[in-house]
Structure 1
């Protein structure tokens, strides 16, 4: 067999090494680097335009794109908030939070495709981290790793396991694996991954992201009054249990209950229907507060707005000296009638305005937080009455009444895949379509929900992997490494693991496994030993995609939300891959003897 790299193979490897160098040592975005690499291979005539673009028609890439729509639908209907509050709880430390996250995710991924599990959990974890003031960058990689390693425990946990088992049974029908055979090595790997993450993540994972240490006295500090609805699920809960105690950037000042004013509110205070809760906080926290199920803005003018609730958004305006209503109180200025908007909060030079909103007399420079229709910004952008008009991003109301529908769509999607009724791609398309048809998400929000950076990274990675296969670079490297250890079964297992994990870091894990499996079979025949331990090693190694974000699509799904850089995966992923490799090499020969 030819062991010499062709000129095209050498150029392909040089481009890939160059791309990896840029990913690790530069701050250029991953999609720009990888798309540039594919473009360079096209210019060198190593791959054709069709081969360069093949990733754009890849089923896995399209599946991820559809799952972004499903995830946004879950977020906008309150399913995500429910999951983050009820499933993940309120841990007191990052380590406990990681454990509370990784255990259920790993368990779900043993029987469910890990892609929808991560799609559902990414927005829930973002919300959870924000509520508990945790570093989201300490949670997103553990989420992906738990999903990946959970899939190694059963035959259906990963599509790679199913494909390799199918290839194994084609040549050796008598030695196919059963559903839980992989648990012998998968469960110890889960334990290793969770323990390693809990112990070392504080040093190996970055401390960046959405953790905010809010200081009272923000220049845009609003006072907002919320009302506990009579039939609210919050009624009968304490402030602590309702999740209103430690809202990031938000402080509960007092409760107005009938004729009683409760100041210095205790976390054990029980909420009653009709309570008016007065909060101080920044604008993003007002948005979060407004989306809590069971709370509504106490300002009655909001409910007189002509536009439907789901066509509204929050807008900030700064009052100019030409504002015609100066000298009048907010109650007397008939703001809703004139502008079609309701003032729900006022900020003034960082002061805490203790007066009720209706009694405030506006001054030039005051900032109003408005609930209004989505056309307000375009209509008032150049008005002389306001110095600034700015819509608050993602401030549309949560569609709590659609929550059960969205949850049912998600459950049906997962069940249809688990039972083999639909492929993951078909199920994701149906789920995304149902989210739109049932009005869990608008068409415009569905368009905006797709993270095109992740989509381009997946597509470009597929193009690079195809170049390695086409030029023969992958096969030459594989044979060199296998032949170097061919005289020892254990040495061959080590070589197989290193080779498969290495290729999985550069091309898709499924492509790496399919590429290496025939070489594993040839090595077992040459050594005259059973092929099963070699096949199992390839399965586990293909899923040990911890060291790069491009090797496994769940890593790509957490890349943006976790605010990660390429090197962050290398730092924690390389030692973790080594530990999973050692665990695999130690256990596989004990369970499946040579």
Structure 2
């Protein structure tokens, strides 16, 4: 044992590099998730004594991942209050009137949203918009999805809070003694990448496929929409208004028809005045249905008895293939008559049920939203012909709180921009504000945090610290420094950027950022160069990855939604990587 301990003490740096190499192999093989590999790697360093207990747990005091978590919650509040959906509705309204101009507006809006919000919800909401724009403009949707995603990724590189990678690099750099980064310190270089990238996407669109997706529906397969019916109550304030004046119709809700006196009208109903008892046939996502349910203007859904209340708990349930009502009308399904429940929506994968809610023929795997009392819900859970009966996680929007969520995020940006308080503290105060004002409930706020990302960050921070303490970073710098000693200073910016880019196309960009930041700073000090432009190059290079579906987390979303091939990303992504990288690095060389 003493011999092994002595051996580890002598070859600490080399053993650290060996562990790192094994981690890279595990990352590339993808047998385990990057988070698991990172945690195991940190544990190995600790077990071998290359990282002591105090230093291992010191990474949890780093503000970067905690700031990332706070930004997740702020993004969740904007979604919960319907702010993001409202923006999407405005985009679709513009697209219906000026579809080609809307493409340019969506591009600009994507850059702005991605600069201040987590990219993933932005891309998720934009995917169905791209499908609608493709229909309106006649462009193949495959020529829109990859460019939209690329613009979102580039937009995340415009501010410090645009991506978690930026915050990680900035946090490690501050711990290494560098001056803190301001929220807009990277903006000139990120904007250079955006301008070059948009120009490249415009000129290289011929490299994108033009065939239609073979597996996605018209919404890209990302939104679970339901068919429902809205019955106008006798005391509704909407009586006498025209159908076309209703504000409920937008991206999240489409009007399919008006049912009056048993007759369904599909066309020419926009100018029709609403009467008590009119039924509007609507196709909407779950959150919109829940919001309409709470509005009080409509009696929503289908019940066997007209006096059945629409309140109570809402559950989701799937029709089992063994259900005796398969092929029968939904209004005749037995539990609707045996229990005091109301079916408020039905979803069918890649198919719109109909002609209306009551006449829909039941199929296996149909998903139902059902509202009822606690006793009725317990009875449904015991129904052997229903699968996965559980409380619905879909919640109504809180539009009256939207201004608070917007103001909270704006305050984070402004307070950190003028350096009145740090971005981490500003984000935490904003989280407190949106929680106490109930923009988002606590359980929803914690659910908005991507725990996998945070654990990955903490683990890679521990690995980076272990490599420093073991002398592995100094050893690598010692190898690299003689090769770059005679090279011009500007070449370092290009080398760091494209090295980070290459690794991030294959590995987790957050892991790459956490590993390369201390190495980059140490190399800059060894060569007598300013580390700041190198760190900025690392930030952007680790995020602006377009050549593989795994290069950035949102790449995988559009890869699935657009039914792309791996080669589609490579064909457009490699030239886009080069053009954006050259623009960013040239701007850094000239301005930094």
| TM superposition score category, shorter chain reference | 0.5 to 0.7
1:17 aligns with 2:21: yes
1:277 aligns with 2:286: no
C-alpha deviations, 1:357-415, integer Å up to 9, x for none? Answer: 3xx69999897834325957862355358544623753222223333333333333333
Please, which moves more after superposition, 14-23 or 536-545? Answer: 536-545
The verdict on how the C-alpha distance between 1:327 and 1:22 changes in structure 2, with shifts beyond 3 A counting, is: closer
CA–CA distance in 2 between the matches of 1:335 and 1:13? 65
2:342 counterpart residue number: 342
C-alpha deviations, 1:119-160, integer Å up to 9, x for none? Answer: 3x532431231354468776445423322145699xxx9897
Please, which moves more after superposition, 473-482 or 575-584? Answer: 575-584
Q: Which blocks of at least 5 consecutive residues in structure 1 are unaligned?
A: 171-175, 525-530, 550-554
CA–CA distance in 1 between the matches of 2:60 and 2:117? 22
Task: Indicate if the aligned counterparts of 1:224 and 1:345 stay in contact, CA closer than 8 A.
Answer: yes
2:257 counterpart residue number: 254
Q: Secondary structure at the match of 2:265?
A: strand
Report the Cα offset of residue 11 of structure 1: 2.6
Report the Cα offset of residue 75 of structure 1: 1.4
Q: Which blocks of at least 5 consecutive residues in structure 2 are unaligned?
A: 1-8, 132-140, 561-565
1:552 counterpart residue number: none
The verdict on how the C-alpha distance between 1:384 and 1:152 changes in structure 2, with shifts beyond 3 A counting, is: closer
1:539 aligns with 2:542: no
Q: Secondary structure at the match of 2:157?
A: helix
Report the Cα offset of residue 79 of structure 1: 1.1
2:136 counterpart residue number: none
Task: Indicate if the aligned counterparts of 1:299 and 1:344 stay in contact, CA closer than 8 A.
Answer: yes
Please, which moves more after superposition, 454-463 or 46-55? Answer: 46-55
Q: How does 1:476-491 map to 2 (within 5 A)?
A: 476-489=475-488
Q: Secondary structure at the match of 2:462?
A: helix
1:40 aligns with 2:44: yes
Q: Secondary structure at the match of 2:397?
A: coil
1:404 aligns with 2:403: yes
Report the Cα offset of residue 12 of structure 1: 2.4
Task: Indicate if the aligned counterparts of 1:546 and 1:574 stay in contact, CA closer than 8 A.
Answer: no
Report the Cα offset of residue 347 of structure 1: 8.6
Task: Indicate if the aligned counterparts of 1:226 and 1:278 stay in contact, CA closer than 8 A.
Answer: yes
CA–CA distance in 1 between the matches of 2:576 and 2:437? 43
CA–CA distance in 2 between the matches of 1:561 and 1:376? 40
Task: Indicate if the aligned counterparts of 1:237 and 1:270 stay in contact, CA closer than 8 A.
Answer: yes
CA–CA distance in 1 between the matches of 2:324 and 2:285? 28
TM-score by length of 2: 0.68
The verdict on how the C-alpha distance between 1:320 and 1:254 changes in structure 2, with shifts beyond 3 A counting, is: same
Please, which moves more after superposition, 194-203 or 45-54? Answer: 194-203
Report the Cα offset of residue 485 of structure 1: 3.2
1:145 counterpart residue number: 154
CA–CA distance in 2 between the matches of 1:101 and 1:131? 9
1:494 counterpart residue number: 491
TM-score by length of 1: 0.67
2:69 counterpart residue number: 65
Q: CA RMSD in A?
A: 5.7
Please, which moves more after superposition, 141-150 or 367-376? Answer: 367-376
CA–CA distance in 2 between the matches of 1:346 and 1:107? 35
CA–CA distance in 1 between the matches of 2:429 and 2:178? 32
The verdict on how the C-alpha distance between 1:86 and 1:465 changes in structure 2, with shifts beyond 3 A counting, is: farther
Please, which moves more after superposition, 312-321 or 437-446? Answer: 312-321
The verdict on how the C-alpha distance between 1:203 and 1:297 changes in structure 2, with shifts beyond 3 A counting, is: farther
The count of residues paired between Structure 1 and Structure 2 equals 534
